[in-house]
A = this chain, B = another copy of it.
């Protein structure tokens, strides 16, 4: 538990340093077998990348370091509760434990409102504020037919 707190405090330290360096106030650390293997802070504005949240970057670095998209033996420590995008990345990475300090309410009070995404994701696509339109006869299903039939595929 002492290690977990120190990993989380490192994520918080990254978040505080990020503010002074033109980043957003978020930091994250990925650990494996009790050792930090990746750390990152939010650089959305400075890197011109809306996906450059601390958790996404830490997951990408950890995966690169392990040469695997599978982080199921890793834990992520985040200065704040992961947003829906980062939650999705966590699930796809296979990470099974998420430790965080501040939560979405604290983030919203500071002007980072994940609430819209939580509200919209549960709606039918056609009912969202962002327009989602399906062209169901454009041939999208054919792709999966080809995937099913292709023997050389690498499933994941």
**Number of A residues, CB within 8 Å of B:** 93
Total identical chains: 2
Beta-carbon contact of B155 and A111 below 8 Å: yes
Beta-carbon contact of A135 and B48 below 8 Å: no
Note all chain B residues with C-beta closer than 8 A to A5. Answer: 135, 138
Q: Which of A121, A140, A146 has the most CB of B within 10 A?
A: A140
Note all chain B residues with C-beta closer than 8 A to A46. Answer: 154
Note all chain B residues with C-beta closer than 8 A to A117. Answer: 87-88, 91
Note all chain B residues with C-beta closer than 8 A to A15. Answer: 143
A-to-B contact residues, CB < 8 Å: 4-5, 8-9, 12, 15-16, 19-20, 22, 24-27, 44-46, 48-53, 56, 59-60, 63-64, 66-71, 79-81, 83-103, 106-107, 109-111, 116-118, 120-122, 125, 130-136, 138-144, 146-148, 150, 152-156
Task: Report, nearest first, the 10 A-B pairs whose CB atoms are least far apart.
Answer: A101-B140, A85-B88, A102-B140, A110-B144, A25-B147, A50-B93, A84-B88, A101-B138, A50-B69, A50-B92
